[in-house]
Structure 1
Amino acid sequence: MRDLVLWLSRELVEKKDAVRVETIERDRSTVLELTVDPDDLGRVIGRGGRTAKALRAVLEIAARRQGRRAVLDILD
């Protein structure tokens, strides 16, 4: 799941080297913390949060296929 979020995020931003995804594991859930360059934050969030919602939806589907729950936090 981490690799999926990393790949999708790098495709959205200009400064690909600044993309970081930290993983925090819990019992049956995973929290992924996404950090990007401040100039690229708007690209990851999108207009009205649409891009962020789409990223979270894809992550949720990937997690369910593994019998887990995942949450994406976009840090600024």
Structure 2
Amino acid sequence: MKELIQTIVKPLVDHPEDVQVTVNEEDEKTIYSLTVNKSDMGKVIGKQGRVAKAIRTVVYAAGSSQHKKIYLEISE
């Protein structure tokens, strides 16, 4: 899943070397924290959050086979 997020996000940003994904697994949920360069935040979020919503939709669909709730957090 971590590789999927990186594959989606790296072509969108100007600084792909700054893209980092960390995983925090708990009992019933998995939280993926996406960190990008401060100047790339607008590109990852998109107008009215459309790009971020699309990324989350793909991640949630890919993770539906797991029996855990998946969350994607985007931060600087």
Asked whether the two chains share a fold, i.e. TM above 0.5, the reply is: yes
Cα distance per residue 1:28-66 (max 9 Å; x no partner)? 321000000011110000000000000110011011023
Rounded to whole Å, the distance in 1 between the matches of 2:4 and 2:70 is: 12
* Worse-superposed segment, 49-58 or 28-37: 28-37
Aligned-residue sequence identity (percent) comes to 37
Partner-residue secondary structure (3-state), 2:51: helix
Q: Which residue of 2 aligns with 1:3?
A: 3
Q: Which residue of 1 aligns with 2:61?
A: 61
Q: Tell me by how many angstroms 1:26 deviates.
A: 1.1
Q: What count of residue pairs does the alignment treat as equivalent?
A: 76
Partner-residue secondary structure (3-state), 2:17: helix
Q: Give the TM-score of the pair, scaled to structure 1.
A: 0.92
Q: Which residue of 2 aligns with 1:22?
A: 22
**Structure 1: which 5+ runs fail to align?**
none
Q: CA RMSD in A?
A: 1.0
Q: Give the TM-score of the pair, scaled to structure 2.
A: 0.92
Q: Which residue of 2 aligns with 1:43?
A: 43
